[in-house]
A and B are shown apart, each in its own frame.
Chain A
Amino acid sequence: MNLTLKVWRQNGPQDKGKLETHQLTGVTGDMSFLEMMDVLNDQIIRDGGDPIAFDHDCREGICGMCSMFINGEAHGPGRGVTTCQLHMRSFKDGDTITIEPWRASAFPVVKDLAVDRGAFDRIIQAGGYVSVNTSGETLDANAIPIPKADADEAFNAATCIGCGACVATCKNASAMLFVSAKVSQFALLPQGQPERKRRVLRMVEQMDKEGFGNCTNTGACAVECPKGIDLTNIARMNRDFLNASLTGE
């Protein structure tokens, strides 16, 4: 198939940026979206141009590095997939595809389609862990039985890949889905209880400090989340946050 690609070009965070148009031929349905980008970059390099910068690594939907806003949707038209798992069979011959980076003031553009998601790391550093040192002398792993339903729900929350699609999708650029997923994982497990209140207070505080917007319950984040992280996590975090705010650490 032949495609018209309108790709965002921006040389660093201070640059104003603009859409640049490219024509690409010979695209097949079995190509992944990023393989299509590889073919485009190969063409640009051979023509002596500056290839389009984008983040990617595992190309199997788990590392969370790829991050393209395609035709107005985070990770494009598919549901439950990252950009790297989107295949060109989702498009048809003659289509025009607009490709932009994640847009959020907390995610400054590095170059073109690559953004800086360091804010997510700093939120985890604020409390997204259980404080246990490496010793080899912890309890036996089976000493604390955990009901399967709780373990499964904690797992579901823990499958967040930290890609930032939720932020990119949200009209307020809110990071509530990301933060609540980590808060929920530990809130659902006995290991997470001792630091439960402290964790939610610190992580929310850091989230606000990073400049993410507020949640207005539109639910767009959960729709676009490639891992299907559920909105109930946000409700759980709100409850925990309110409780911790009222009763203190």
Chain B
Amino acid sequence: MLDSKIPGGPLADKWTQYKNNIRLVNPANKRLIDVIVVGTGLAGSSAAASLAEMGYNVKAFCFQDSPRRAHSIAAQGGINAAKNYQNDGDSVHRLFYDTIKGGDYRSREANVHRLAEVSTSIIDQCVAQGVPFAREYGGLLDNRSFGGVQVSRTFYAKGQTGQQLLLGAYSALSRQISKGKVKMYNRHEMMDVVLVNGKARGIIARNLVTGEIQRHSAHAVVLATGGYGNVFFLSTNAMGSNVSAAWKAHRKGAFMANPCFTQIHPTCIPVSGHYQSKLTLMSESLRNDGRIWVPKKKEDAEAVRKGALKPTQIAEEDRDYYLERRYPAFGNLVPRDVASRAAKERCDAGFGVNETGEAVYLDYASAIERYGKTEANVRGLENPNAEEIRRLGKEVVKAKYGNLFDMYRQITDDNPYETPMKIYPAVHYTMGGLWVDYNLMTTVPGLYAAGEANFSDHGANRLGASALMQGLADGYFVLPYTIGDYLAEDIRTGAIANDSAEFMEAEQAVREQLNRFVSNNGTVPVDDFHRRLGRIMWDNCGMARNKEGLTQAIADIASLREEFYAKVRVPGTTTGFNPELDKAGRVADFLELGELMCKDALEREESCGGHFREEYQTEEGEALRRDDEFTFVSAWEHQGNPSQAKLHQEELVYDNIELKQRSYK
């Protein structure tokens, strides 16, 4: 039976009361306790810095050449917080409510409420660190609105919010490194977690430069290793983002929760060719001002695809602004899952606008005109002509979204100020992850998961600008408290030996796998298998899923996995810098995870959030939840093979929110 350890009392008081009653570790004892943090994105950096400030001895690990490069850096749009600076009716409760609703009622009330509560402290903390958020002329912080909500609660730093927040956390981490409270291991990969007497007591790490295998012991291990979107090969994740740390933990007994909950982001640059290595996101903030459309007439769409017709030549009445048509209340700002499915629906119906038929327009023409008019008024220009208005409008758009427009132009060679952008959904974020209780502890005692690596806050769909919020909430304000309650037991334990049988066995297993790869004598590069896995996942476990496809995918992945071990070629040796070897280990884990994701999707016989089962939809084609049977978290226990994983259910109880069919109409 899964115990989520949600404290008692009224929802709004749980976190405060909990903090008042947990066990603390006194400062002298903290110096006797070691904590390992794997990953240095927002959750990992903030956790490592905060734990070190508190006095624990921290070892932090990242596979990149510097902690500053973790993929949180690429988050563009912003970070939510219930500050209500705009006086538009926002509150902790409303942020809580929006997040639960946006997640299609598949997240845990108590965790989400806590997230909303600490959101305001995050902004205060970041500003104190010197994070340069966007400001208004009065010198106060600016906000923008984001998909799925009707208030402006998103704080931002142009299109580089993730970068600025991560550099803030990185600077806090750097301060602790300089004090010697954090020992930083760059270019190191976690290869396995080590359990001693059932508790997580360390990791096996590999120095990616020298190939050296190391045993690191600690009293607790925190995995802040991000999401697993790269199981699809093509995603908006960084090339190195991987599931391996989480998957190794899963194999050692940590349950994997809701693995099929994947977020497909509606606004990405479409695929251009078979060599494509990743997809680039265009921030959701673009939907604030951009209008999404496809041609109303099929013949126009065909002409556009052949290059015979330009989008700017299509008359206003011949355009189908399908989000505004289908969802008048939220329009272009519907949540991501809804926007993505709507794009797929139009493209599947034959209205796509690029060569592959898998693209829709994101148009800034009307925003440019609207802003131009306002700007002309501000400047007191009388009767400005259309060209003057467009020029002024472009300046405003450039100030707001300039870097995104530049990026689009760089990649596609199209000028988005003059012609609509082409976009299509792409894999972006994984709501599923390691199952954690209220303390962020996995089912393995002493093993914690923070940020995207855990499953707890976003249900079946994450709202925009909530990933940064959750990563920093976990690292700055949740984990530093909750981990103390566990470590209070360890004040007399003393240092953990790193040469026990458990460590030696784990090290040996790691060496064996590495040796197996380099001595395989295969012929096919790692990426080849990764691409094929991605194709299977995208076709069968992507924006729409059905029983037949998922069943086939499970069989296909199992046979691909066999082929991988038989035919993969990993050049080089286990010593020295060998990125192909690093990739092989990660793809091996993706090949297992993919199968579990399909199994999870197959067994969840309902549609909710990003999980859309074609068999379960309303007459209007919207997701049909089956609350009577599926209001639970699926937590999978590893049993030797992904398809044999055992399901545990954590029932989701909604005491404070009424479950409703989500409507953005």
A162 & B139 in contact (Cβ 8 Å cutoff)? no
Q: Are A34 and B74 in contact (CB under 8 A)?
A: no
Q: How far apart are the CA atoms of A50 and B570 in the complex, in Å? A: 10
Chain B 174-216 per-residue mask, 1 if CB under 8 angstroms from chain A, else 0: 1101100000101000000000000000000000010000000
Query: Would A128 and B123 count as touching, CB distance under 8 A?
Result: no
Q: Establish whether residues A134 and B480, one from each chain, have CB atoms under 8 Å apart when the complex forms.
A: yes
**Minimal beta-carbon separation of A71 from chain B (angstroms):** 18
Q: Are A133 and B53 in contact (CB under 8 A)?
A: yes
Interface assignment of B649: CB less than 8 Å from any CB of chain A? no
- B276–A136 touching, CB < 8 Å: no
B74 touches A60 (CB 8 A): yes
CB 8 Å contact bits of A133-156 with B (1 = contact, 0 = none): 111101111101111100110110
Taken together as a complex, chains A and B put the C-alpha atoms of A128 and B67 apart, in Å, by: 14
- Whether A57 pairs with B139 at a CB distance below 8 angstroms is no
User: Do B572 and A158 have beta carbons less than 8 Å apart?
Assistant: no
Partner among B71, B125, B281, B413 whose Cβ is within 8 Å of the Cβ of A134: B125
What is the CA–CA distance of A151 and B158 in the complex, to the nearest angstrom? 12
Residues of A within 8 A of B236 (CB): 60
Q: Assess whether B10 is interfacial by the CB under 8 Å rule.
A: no
Question: Which residues in window 113-141 of B have CB below 8 A to A?
Answer: 118, 121, 123-130, 132-141
Question: Is the beta-carbon distance between A148 and B407 smaller than 8 angstroms?
Answer: no
A145 to B133, CA, bound (A): 12
Which of chain B's residues have a CB closer than 8 A to the CB of A129?
A: 129, 171-172, 174-175
Quick check: B172 and A138 within 8 Å, CB to CB? no
Complex CA gap A149/B125 in Å reads: 22
- A112 vs B64: C-alpha distance in the bound complex, in angstroms? 17
Contacts of A139 in B (CB 8 A): 124, 127-128
Given the known A-B contacts A62-B73, A121-B66, are A148 and B277 also in contact in the complex, defined by CB atoms under 8 Å?
no
From B171, B239, B480, A128 is in contact (CB under 8 Å) with B171
Q: Chain B residues near A60 (CB, 8 Å)?
A: 74, 236, 278, 280-281, 407
Contact of A111 with B141 in the complex, beta carbons under 8 Å: no
- CA separation between A185 and B167, bound complex, in Å? 12
- B98 at interface by CB-CB < 8 Å: no
Q: Which residues in window 30-89 of B have CB below 8 A to A?
A: 46, 49-50, 53, 64-69, 71, 73-74, 83, 85
**Interface: A236 (CB within 8 A):** no
Q: Is A16 an interface residue (CB 8 A)?
A: no
Q: How far is the CA of A53 from the CA of B572 in the complex (A)?
A: 11
Q: Does A232 count as interface, using CB distance less than 8 angstroms?
A: no
B124 touches A64 (CB 8 A): no
Q: Which of B49, B281, B525, B527 has the most CB of A within 10 A?
A: B525
What B residues does A29 contact at CB under 8 A?
413
B125 interface neighbour in A61, A138, A186, Cβ under 8 Å: A138
**Contact assessment for A65 and B64 in the assembled complex, using a CB-CB cutoff below 8 Å:** yes
Check A72 for interface membership: any CB of B closer than 8 A: no
**Nearest Cβ on chain A to B559's Cβ, whole angstroms:** 22
Cβ-based interface call for A117 (8 A): yes
- Which of A38, A134, A138 is B477 in contact with, Cβ under 8 Å? A134
Question: Is there a chain B Cβ closer than 8 Å to A132's Cβ?
Answer: yes
Query: Chain A interface secondary structure, helix, strand, loop or mixed?
Result: loop
Cα–Cα distance between A131 and B171 once the two chains are bound (Å): 9
Max count, chain B CB within 10 A of own CB: residue among A58, A121, A128? A58
B177: which A residues are within 8 A, CB to CB? 121, 125
Most buried by A among B71, B175, B236, B523: B175
From the candidates B66, B130, B136, B577, name the one contacting A117 in the complex (CB within 8 A): B66
How close is A205's CB to chain B, nearest CB, in angstroms? 13
Closest-CB distance, B656 to chain A (whole angstroms)? 23
Residues in B with CB closer than 8 Å to A192 are: 130
Asked if A237 is at the interface (CB within 8 A of a chain B CB), the reply is no
Given A35-B277, A111-B576, A185-B132, answer yes or no on A63-B238 (Cβ-Cβ < 8 Å): yes
From A132, A142, A146, contact of B128 by CB (8 A): A132
The reply to whether A59 and B277 form a contact with Cβ atoms under 8 Å apart is: yes
Q: Which of B69, B158, B273 contacts A63 (CB 8 A)?
A: B69
Which of A62, A111, A118, A136 is within 8 Å of B121, CB to CB? A136
**Contact indicator B71/A191 (Cβ below 8 Å):** no
Cβ of A189 < 8 Å from any Cβ of B?
Answer: yes
When each residue 37-59 of chain A gets 1 if its CB lies under 8 Å from chain B and 0 otherwise, what string results?
Answer: 01101100110111101011111
Q: Which A residues lie within 8 Å of B74 (CB)? A: 58, 60, 62-63
Q: Decide if A70 is an interface residue (CB 8 Å cutoff).
A: no
User: Are B240 and A57 in contact, CB atoms less than 8 angstroms apart?
Assistant: yes
Q: Is the CB of B164 within 8 A of A126?
A: no
Please measure, in the bound complex, the distance between the C-alpha atom of A141 and the C-alpha atom of B119, giving whole angstroms.
12
Compute how far the CA of A60 lies from the CA of B239 in the bound complex, rounded to whole angstroms. 10
Chain A residues with Cβ below 8 Å from B411 are: 32, 85, 87
The answer to whether B174 touches A128 (Cβ under 8 A) is yes
CB distance from B124 to the nearest CB of A (A): 5
Within 8 A of B (CB), among A83-116: 85, 87, 89, 110-111, 114, 116
Cβ of B608: which chain A residues have Cβ within 8 Å of it? none
Q: Check B132–A155 contact: CB distance below 8 A.
A: yes
Q: A155: which B residues are within 8 A, CB to CB?
A: 132, 134, 157-158, 164
Q: Does A28 contact B (CB under 8 A)?
A: yes
Report chain A residues within 8 Å CB of B571: 45, 48-51
Say yes or no for B406: interface residue by CB 8 A criterion: yes
A45 pairs with B580, CB closer than 8 A? yes
Q: Which of B69, B121, B125, B525 is the one whose CB lies under 8 Å from A65?
A: B69
In the complex, chain A residues whose CB is within 8 Å of the CB of B141: 141-142
A31 interface residue, CB < 8 Å from B?
Answer: yes
Write out, one digit per residue, whether chain B residues 296-324 have a CB within 8 A of any chain A CB (1) or not (0): 00000000000000000000000000000
Q: Residue A80 at the B interface, CB < 8 A?
A: yes
User: A154 CB to closest chain B CB, in angstroms?
Assistant: 4
Could you say which residues of chain A place their CB within 8 Å of the CB of B138? Answer: 145
Q: Known interface pairs A39-B275, A145-B139, A151-B133. Does A59 touch B121 (Cβ–Cβ under 8 Å)?
A: no
Interface flags for A205-226 (1: CB within 8 Å of B; 0: not) read 0000000000000000000000
Q: How far is the CB of A51 from chain B (nearest CB, A)?
A: 6
Say yes or no: is B163 at the interface (Cβ < 8 Å to chain A).
yes
B476: Cβ under 8 A from any A Cβ: yes
* Residue from A28, A51, A55, A130 within 8 A of B273 (CB atoms): A28
Q: Is the CB of B407 within 8 A of A85?
A: yes
A85 engages B410 (CB within 8 Å): yes
The residues in B between 246 and 304 inclusive whose CB is less than 8 angstroms from any CB of A are 272-273, 275-278, 280-281
Residues of A within 8 A of B162 (CB): 62
Cβ contact of B127, chosen from A53, A141, A147, cutoff 8 A: A141
Could you tell me the distance in whole angstroms from the C-beta of A184 to the nearest C-beta in chain B? 11
| Alpha-carbon separation in the docked complex, A65 to B50 (Å) | 26
Q: Contacts A51-B580, A139-B124, A145-B139 given: A65-B65 contact, CB under 8 Å? A: yes
User: Which residues from chain A contact B448 at a C-beta distance below 8 Å?
Assistant: none
Is B625 interfacial (CB-CB < 8 Å)? Answer: no
Contacts of A185 in B (CB 8 A): 130, 132
20 A-B residue pairs with CB within 8 Å: A32-B411, A45-B569, A50-B572, A55-B65, A59-B238, A60-B280, A64-B68, A78-B410, A81-B410, A129-B129, A129-B174, A133-B50, A134-B125, A135-B125, A141-B124, A148-B135, A152-B135, A155-B132, A158-B164, A189-B132
A-B complex: 10 closest residue pairs judged by Cβ atoms: A145-B139, A129-B171, A136-B121, A155-B132, A125-B178, A138-B128, A111-B577, A141-B127, A134-B50, A57-B238
Knowing that A30-B273, A31-B275, A58-B69 are A-B contacts, what are 9 other residue pairs whose CB atoms are under 8 Å apart, sorted by A's residue number? A38-B275, A59-B280, A81-B410, A110-B577, A129-B171, A131-B175, A136-B476, A141-B123, A148-B139
